[in-house]
Chains A and B, each alone.
Chain A
Amino acid sequence: MNRRILAILLAMALVFCAFSFTACNQNNDGENEGEDKIKIGVISVGDENEGYTYAHMDGIRKAAEKLGIDEATQIIWKNNIPESELCKDAALDLADADCDLVISNSYGHQDFMQEAATECPDVQFVSMTGDKAANSGLDNLANAFTSVYQSRYVSGVVAGMKLAELVKDGKLTDANYDADGNILLGYVGAYPYAEVVSGYTAYYLGVKSVVENVSMLVQYTQSWFDIAAEGEAANALLAKGCVIICQHADSTGAPAAVEASLKAGNVCYSVGYNVDMLSVAPNAALTSATNNWAVYYEYLFNAVMKGEEVKTNWSEGYATDAVAITALGASCAEGTQEKVESVVKALKDGTLNVFDTDSFTVNGEHLESYKVDLTGDFDTDDEGDKEAIWDGYFHESEHRSAPSFDIRIDGITELSDEQ
């Protein structure tokens, strides 16, 4: 019987131990906030421990600091809010707390943000990475997305430089080539839709701008964040002979798997997303395509503070430094830095367009016209759907901020959707 009491005591001790390991911030409550100061509510799908949300929070903090917005009294954080009615609860609750601006950071939040925006017409709502604001008919709902395809293209150039070096040094084996003599690339994607398709195509075209004979395999994980599944997908792609593995998913699963394989003596490298992957893959990681959200948040906060209209669809890239690549890894090929600088310069001054129709083919032919679905009904015959190709390139993120390039081009193969 003493054992039972002992067990209870042990359980209590465990509870206390668990508590003592938790780090906590101490913040004063904001009871004395000014009347005319902007108040911002932020709804995040994760928290600071997750790269995607961290990048957003970091951007918000940087922008706030620059504009003299006090985090403790003027920003309310709501973290770990799932893509469900809890998002609407949080949004309305923030509106009740006198927020002038409510931001959500995940795609799946947008329907619930739209409902909240309908109920609170005086509050500005922004659904980051969403795509439905323009069609909602609400003037207090906006979407924003960086032109991250540009930084993906640049990360592709980095991978291309490495590939060229590997070819020159004779490091590749027959297993690294497909039947047509193309070098194999691998890509771990989350879900098969425009955001991911646009990203992997931009990356592929970046590689191809350096090494012409490449082909790419795309493995989906059906999840934005799944360390195990991303690692498995990377291993499956490596087993097929892929040399460089890039990703559009939020965990460190793929770079870690590539690092392990590199250590085991295989020739393979990794290109990440969102955050610098050098901490998990110091030898394998070349760089990561990333967003500089502070650029947008600064614009947004400024607009709301001045009472100006917020753009329904905001998308900017290298032109305003809203996108970037992270520091180059030690394994990058010689001359990469110079090459990156010249490509970025070309992107900035508009002499280079990522989706130049001369650089890719669909079923062997160059595209001259492609309509994108902007009305959200899966077809492209409505009046609202617009032509995206003119002046010889696909105008990504111009009709709306969320990516719309969902063309499957030659040279890229999507493997089975199954996990």
Chain B
Amino acid sequence: MANKVKHHREPLVRIVKRDSMPVAKAILIRAIAIALSLVVCAVVIYAITKMNPLKVYATMFEGAFGSKRRIWMLVRDTMMMLCIGVALAPAFKMRFWNIGAEGQVLMGGIATAACMIYLGDVLPTPVLFAVMVITSCVCGAVWGMIPAIFKSRFNTNETLFTLMMNYVAIQITAYCVSIWENPYGSNTVGIINPQTKAGWFPALFGEQYMINVFIVAALTIAMFFYLRSSKHGYEISVVGESENTARYAGINVSKVFVRTMIISGAVAGLAGFIAVSGVSHTISTDTAGGRGFTAIIVAWLAKFNTFTMVLISVLIIFLEKGAIEIASKFQLSEYASKIITGIILFFILGSEFFINYKLIIGKKGAK
């Protein structure tokens, strides 16, 4: 009998999950990715505009750090992005796909704007701020809690549910704008309390956005230790790894879902409070401005580590500000400069692939 050897063709390239990688090597891979992305961008920039790419990069840097005011704008927007990223961290760590930060931020923003409009002249400042913080947290928390309750009771799909809650929140915001619009019919609320500045963050150490930094820094640190060192944080990671394991270990999974989403929603609501009271002093359907979605990238790239999120937020806002500046300075369409941002982000996301997987070419890796 002929010994039939089953011919097994080896694929040219195979992808194998890595067990782990030394931190230094992971950082090196990311650095290479950023360097490569800059090279690719440079080629693209030169091919299209015949401009010196280094000049374009210098302009991006200038746009983000070029003046004290620009640095503060960068800081302010970074804090906003970071705050929403922090809000998403516990939910995503639990593998609960909270796509609803946009809506949760808006609900917090509406609550804050309502307090500023109706209570701005009534309450003394400390009480007003306490009321704004509480109502914005509660509104955000309710918006986060509803999908969690449905998930734990009826096992509904939280991705779709939280996503659709965004549209409800946007419609509620549009409705509120139509009530509060000033002047009538203009469809804009305008700046709230421009004379009295009631409900506006006061300047701290002479800086208008210093309070934003303190609040978000406190949230970032608190969330880091909540996730890493508290019993709740442990339950969240067990539920995230495997719901069945969690049940087996006696964790009340439904309770963890709801509790975590209340926290996630409340922090997002607080982000809405900062956006309205600390930044724009007005409310519109653009108050969240898509940051609820961008923050998902922040949370994921940082692997839910809130300190890493600081870096990612700075990077994303830096790219955003840089893109605006090159659009303005070189009269590029803003969409063109956003492509540069896209390429850089693409490479960074791609580098995560090489950190988690390795490529094996040919037969060398066969067991």
Q: List residues of chain A with CB under 8 Å of any chain B CB.
A: 1-2, 4-5, 8, 11-12, 15-16, 18-20, 22-27, 29, 47, 76-80, 82-85, 89, 92-93, 96, 107-108, 111-112, 114-115, 131, 191-194, 196, 222, 373, 376, 378
Contacts and interface: CB of A to CB of B under 8 A. Distances in A.
A24 B48 contact: yes
Contact of B339 (A18, A26, A83): A18
A194 B182 CA distance: 13
B289 A378 contact: no
A22 B334 CA distance: 10
A207 B282 CA distance: 41
B51 A26 contact: yes
Contacts of B185: 191-194, 196
Contacts of A112: 191
A366 B73 CA distance: 54
B329 A29 contact: yes
B330 A26 contact: yes
Given A1-B11, A19-B44, A19-B339, A83 B188 contact: yes
B67 interface: yes
Contacts of B50: 26
A107 B48 contact: no
B48 A22 contact: yes
Contacts of A11: 346
Nearest to A71: B331
A12 B345 CA distance: 12
Interface string B114-125: 000000000000
Nearest to A136: B194
Query: Which bucket holds chain B's interface residue count?
Result: 35 or more
Contacts of B352: none
A96 B343 contact: no
A177 B346 CA distance: 60
Nearest to B48: A24
25 contacts: A1-B14, A2-B11, A5-B13, A20-B48, A24-B331, A26-B50, A27-B331, A47-B333, A47-B334, A76-B329, A83-B188, A84-B280, A84-B284, A84-B286, A85-B279, A85-B281, A89-B73, A93-B67, A93-B73, A96-B67, A111-B188, A111-B190, A111-B282, A114-B191, A114-B194
Interface of B: 11-15, 44, 47-51, 55, 67, 69-70, 73, 182-188, 190-191, 194, 279-282, 284, 286-287, 289, 324, 327-336, 339, 342-343, 346, 350
Contacts of B49: 24, 26
A22 B333 contact: yes
Contact of A93 (B70, B184, B282, B339): B70
Nearest to A106: B188
Given A1-B14, A2-B12, A85 B280 contact: yes
A191 B186 contact: yes
B334 A80 contact: yes
A50 to B, nearest CB: 12
A255 B335 CA distance: 28
> Which of A85, A131, A193 counts the most B-chain CB atoms under 10 A from its CB?
A85
A23 B334 CA distance: 11
Nearest to A131: B183
Contacts of A373: 183
Contacts of B55: 29
Contacts, number: 116
Nearest to A77: B328
Contacts of A29: 55, 329-330
Given A11-B346, A19-B336, A22-B48, A193 B15 contact: no
Given A15-B343, A96-B69, A115-B191, A22 B335 contact: yes
A76 B51 CA distance: 19
Contacts of B339: 15, 18-19, 22
A1 B120 CA distance: 60
A111 B194 contact: yes
Nearest to A85: B280
A24 B286 CA distance: 28
B132 to A, nearest CB: 18
A84 B69 contact: no
Contacts of B184: 193, 378
A3 B280 CA distance: 46
B341 to A, nearest CB: 11
Contacts of A78: 324, 328
B13 to A, nearest CB: 6
A193 B48 CA distance: 45
B191 A83 contact: no
Given A77-B328, A93-B69, A376 B183 contact: yes
A107 B15 contact: no
Contact of B328 (A8, A76, A193): A76
B208 to A, nearest CB: 10
Nearest to A108: B188
Task: Return the 4 tightest CB-CB contacts between A and B, nearest first.
Answer: A193-B185, A111-B191, A85-B280, A22-B336
Given A22-B336, A24-B331, A115-B191, 16 more contacts: A11-B346, A15-B343, A22-B48, A22-B335, A27-B330, A77-B328, A77-B331, A82-B286, A85-B279, A85-B280, A96-B67, A111-B194, A191-B186, A191-B187, A193-B186, A373-B183
A196 B342 CA distance: 40
Contacts of B328: 76-79
Nearest to A27: B331
A296 to B, nearest CB: 21
B15 to A, nearest CB: 5
Contacts of B15: 1, 4
A131 B187 CA distance: 14
B332 A25 contact: yes
A55 to B, nearest CB: 18
Contacts of A131: 183
Given A77-B328, A131-B183, A15 B284 contact: no
A129 B56 CA distance: 35
Contacts of B48: 19-20, 22, 24
B41 to A, nearest CB: 10
Contacts of A15: 339, 342-343, 346
B69 to A, nearest CB: 6
A297 B127 CA distance: 48
Given A2-B13, A92-B69, A24 B191 contact: no
Contact of B284 (A19, A27, A77, A83): A83
B51 A193 contact: no
Nearest to B279: A85
A79 B333 CA distance: 9
A220 to B, nearest CB: 10
Contacts of A2: 11-13
A110 to B, nearest CB: 8
A194 B187 CA distance: 12
A251 B48 CA distance: 30
Contacts of A93: 67, 69-70, 73
Contacts of B342: 15
